[in-house]
């Protein structure tokens, strides 16, 4: 008897196709038992921890015993490391001590103990996502999942798998990617949740925003995940498997051919040059971005330098990392965006007032201007990495002139300090702002006097203009990029930037959708920054686009009154383009 295949549509988060076995983790970390215990519970709690360790060790041994020599060679060492950490007396004693002296549950004790180790490590390492920290972090996931009864058998993680979960932290995702995870499906999260960003960074195909998917799929079910189309198929039939295997192959070939050719000149069909840059979050992504043909870094997000870390990074740590990226890409440009989160996510900053609406609260530049020491150390680190002349500063969430003036003043202050400290930097470093809060559009002329370039953050801009959360599936239609108000705003912006003679970069994920690309190019946008993995896809699209014709398309749709007319016209344009080839 065959089970019928079932198709789910979600949000495309990270390009690529995965076909494989599902591993479902149906609960979130938030359900974890975090509690204090009574003195008379100490013994029982200690035993619970010891049993968990014993269970994992036994399963690990069974797993290792059942492996072929080839498997053993490939993943044996990694599993051995886990086993060794688990049987490390220093660690076990640590946890048992915390249980009895601090009177907390095993889960809390495990986290506290490992946090101390991680803290000690992070004081010595460049990146929080280094291999040593990850091996330790991986123990935490295993122990916590086992203690909470969410995973009963760790061996499922030793074969290739597609993870199906409610939500996932970036660090846990990173850990699974080092195991044999080949795809990610989440119930919650949108294109720009932190886990989604990390999935793209790690080139893991991912689809998000499918409520109920952890119930619809069982562990060991066969699943197709299409991160390009945002589709998940459970129990696929032979025909579907064949079709997607072929898609997967052609996608891989596309990526490989780009890695071989390393094309960095992207020309449209009518020979117009478009510059394509990469959005990255970690220094580890530099090589893949380069190999896929990025003409520089259009956006280095720095949030992961601060969040999910035991403490804020020093100026020196930041400098080393920024400098590494700047050197790798020299002489191409590297644009570093200053911190774009609020204090609630950064260690050492306790927000005294709970914000009812954090997205519209004290975050990004607002947070930085209230915490000038933190901001100044980041600016200094960026300036120090700029001495070769290829680094630029980008300020997020600017909503009014005063913020720009104050930021410029701080940059000058940082330059003065560095001069006094005898440290080199680029005195003419270019400073740009994100165009994402609508207020700025009305004062672009005034703002332009104080900055060197604009970066268009399409995700936030659309979200703020439409007052619609793009991560909310119910509001998909309300937050479409192909709607009359958005089209007209984007057109106004490029016209203004042109007359002000300021370069403008598109940094949102709009630079990755065929329909959006045609419209952006037709309006005159020529600098697009996207996730590295999308560069080969873009390359494939742009070579077939006739920009002169796209200009005609824009002239036409700019006066359309509703979404569906615009979408129909753009689709018609693209299908005609296909016919020409």
Among 91, 79, 194, CA closest to 135: 79
Q: How far is CA 175 from the centre of its chain?
A: 15
Q: Is 120 in the site for other proteins (CB under 8 A)?
A: yes
In the list 71, 115, 135, 315, the residue contacting other proteins (rule: CB under 8 A) is: 135
Q: Exactly one of 18, 19, 129, 136 binds other proteins (CB under 8 A); which one?
A: 136
Residue 398 tokens read as 């600017």
Nearest partner of 563 among 477, 476, 490, 492, judged by Cα: 477
In the complex with other proteins, the residue whose CB is nearer, 91 or 491, is 91
Other CB atoms within a 10 A radius of the CB of residue 68 amount to: 8
Number of neighbours of residue 149 by Cβ within 10 angstroms: 10
CB of 140 to other proteins, least distance (A): 13
Least distance to other proteins from the beta carbon of 218, Å? 33
Options 131-139, 188-196, 433-441, 491-499: segment touching other proteins (CB under 8 A): 131-139
Range in contact with other proteins (rule: CB under 8 A) among 127-135, 208-216, 265-273, 539-547? 127-135
| Shortest distance (Å) from residue 314 CB to other proteins | 16
Asked if 569 touches other proteins (CB under 8 A), the answer is no
Q: How near is the Cβ of 118 to other proteins at its closest, in Å?
A: 10
Neighbours of 423 (CB within 10 A): 13
Active-site annotation holds for 368 = no
How many chain residues touch other proteins (CB under 8 A)? 19
Q: Which of 4, 30, 70, 124 binds other proteins (CB under 8 A)?
A: 124
The least CB distance from residue 131 to other proteins, in Å, is 5
Among 320, 327, 294, CA closest to 305: 320
Which residue from 72, 103, 121, 465 is in contact with other proteins, where contact means CB under 8 A? 121
Task: Provide the 10 A C-beta neighbour count for residue 137.
Answer: 23
Q: Which residues pair with 431 in a beta bridge?
A: 393
CB-nearer residue toward other proteins: 246 or 287: 287
Residue tagged 């990004």 (tokens): 364
Q: Write the burial class of residue 156 (CB in 10 Å: 0-12 exposed, 13-18 middle, 19+ buried).
A: middle
For residues 450 to 489, the per-residue mask of contacts with other proteins, x marking binding by CB under 8 A and - elsewhere, is ----------------------------------------
Q: Is 332 in the site for other proteins (CB under 8 A)?
A: no
The residue behind tokens 């009154």 is 561
Q: Which stretch binds other proteins (CB under 8 A): 121-129, 271-279, 341-349, 405-413?
A: 121-129
Shortest separation between residue 315's beta carbon and other proteins, angstroms: 20
Q: Do the beta carbons of residue 185 and residue 163 sit within 8 Å?
A: yes
Closest Cα to residue 399, out of 484, 461, 458?
A: 461
131 binds other proteins per the rule CB under 8 A: yes
The catalytic position among 166, 194, 368, 527 is 194
The answer to whether 91 contacts other proteins (rule: CB under 8 A) is yes
Tell me the CA distances in angstroms from 340 to 150, 366, 367, 466, one per residue in order.
34, 9, 9, 21
What residues form DSSP beta bridges with 300?
A: 280, 336
Residue 31 interacting with other proteins (CB under 8 A): no
Interface with other proteins, residue 117, by CB under 8 A: yes
Counting beta carbons within 10 angstroms of the beta carbon of residue 24, is it exposed (0 to 12), middle (13 to 18) or buried (19 or more)? buried
Residue 115 binds to other proteins (criterion: CB under 8 A):
no
Identify the residue among 6, 9, 74, 132 touching other proteins (CB under 8 A). Answer: 132
CA dihedral over 362, 364, 367, 370, signed as positive or negative: negative
Q: Which helix (H) or strand (E) holds 424?
A: none
Q: Is 507 a catalytic residue?
A: yes
SS3 call for 505: strand
Assess 125 for contact with other proteins (CB under 8 A): yes
Interaction residues for other proteins, span 51-90 (CB under 8 A): 77-78, 80-81, 84-85, 88-90
Catalytic residue among 166, 368, 507, 527: 507
- Phi/psi at 481 (nearest 5 deg)? -80, -20
Please report, as ranges, the residues that interact with other proteins according to CB under 8 A: 77-78, 80-81, 84-85, 88-91, 117, 120-121, 124-125, 131-132, 135-136
Catalytic residues: 194, 507
């Amino acid at each position: 008897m065959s089970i019928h295949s079932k198709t789910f549509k979600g949000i495309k988060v990270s390009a690529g196709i995965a076909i494989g076995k599902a591993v479902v983790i149906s609960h979130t970390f938030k359900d974890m038992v975090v509690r204090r215990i009574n003195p008379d519970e100490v013994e029982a709690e200690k035993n619970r921890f010891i049993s968990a360790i014993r269970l994992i060790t036994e399963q690990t041994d069974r797993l290792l015993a059942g492996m072929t020599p080839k498997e053993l060679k490939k993943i044996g060492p990694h599993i051995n490391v886990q086993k060794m950490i688990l049987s490390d007396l220093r660690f076990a004693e640590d946890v048992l001590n915390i249980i009895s002296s601090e009177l907390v549950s095993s889960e809390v004790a495990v986290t506290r103990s490992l946090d101390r180790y991680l803290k000690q490590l992070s004081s010595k390492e460049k990146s929080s996502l280094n291999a040593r920290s990850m091996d330790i972090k991986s123990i935490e996931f295993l122990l916590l999942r086992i203690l909470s009864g969410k995973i009963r058998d760790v061996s499922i993680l030793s074969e290739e798998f597609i993870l199906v979960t409610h939500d996932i932290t970036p660090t846990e995702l990173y850990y699974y990617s080092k195991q044999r995870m080949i795809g990610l499906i989440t119930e919650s999260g949108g294109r720009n949740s932190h886990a989604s960003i990390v999935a793209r960074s790690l080139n893991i195909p991912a689809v998000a925003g499918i409520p109920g998917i952890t119930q619809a799929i069982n562990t060991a079910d066969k699943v197709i995940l299409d991160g390009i189309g945002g589709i998940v198929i459970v129990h696929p039939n032979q025909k579907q498997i064949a079709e997607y295997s072929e898609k997967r192959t052609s996608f891989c070939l596309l990526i490989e051919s780009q890695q071989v050719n390393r094309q960095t000149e992207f020309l449209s069909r009518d020979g117009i040059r478009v510059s394509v840059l990469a959005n990255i979050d970690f220094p580890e992504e530099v090589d893949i971005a380069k190999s896929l043909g990025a003409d520089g870094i259009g956006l280095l997000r720095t949030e992961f330098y601060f969040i999910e870390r035991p403490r804020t990074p020093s100026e020196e740590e930041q400098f080393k990392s920024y400098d590494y990226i700047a050197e790798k890409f020299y002489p191409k440009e590297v644009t570093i965006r200053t911190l774009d989160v609020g204090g609630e996510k950064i260690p050492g900053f306790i927000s005294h007032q709970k914000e009812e609406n954090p997205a519209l609260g004290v975050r990004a530049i607002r947070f930085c201007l209230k915490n000038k020491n933190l901001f100044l150390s980041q600016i200094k680190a960026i300036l120090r990495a700029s001495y070769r002349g290829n680094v630029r500063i980008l300020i997020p969430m600017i909503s009014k002139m005063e913020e720009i003036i104050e930021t410029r003043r701080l940059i000058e202050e940082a330059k003065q300090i560095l001069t006094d400290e005898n440290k080199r930097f680029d005195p003419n470093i270019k400073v740009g702002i994100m165009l994402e809060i609508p207020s700025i559009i009305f004062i672009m002329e005034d703002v332009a006097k104080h900055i060197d370039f604009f970066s268009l953050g399409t995700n936030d801009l659309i979200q703020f203009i439409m007052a619609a959360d793009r991560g909310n599936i119910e509001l998909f239609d309300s937050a479409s990029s192909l709607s009359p108000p958005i089209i007209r705003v984007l057109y106004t912006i490029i016209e203004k930037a042109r007359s002000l003679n300021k370069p403008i970069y598109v940094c949102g994920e709009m630079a990755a959708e065929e329909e959006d690309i045609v419209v952006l190019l037709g309006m005159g946008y020529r600098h697009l920054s996207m996730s590295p993995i999308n560069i080969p896809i873009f390359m494939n699209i742009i070579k077939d686009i006739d920009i002169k014709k796209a200009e005609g398309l824009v002239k036409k749709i700019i006066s359309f009154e509703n979404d569906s007319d615009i979408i129909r016209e753009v689709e018609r344009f693209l299908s005609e383009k296909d016919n020409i080839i």
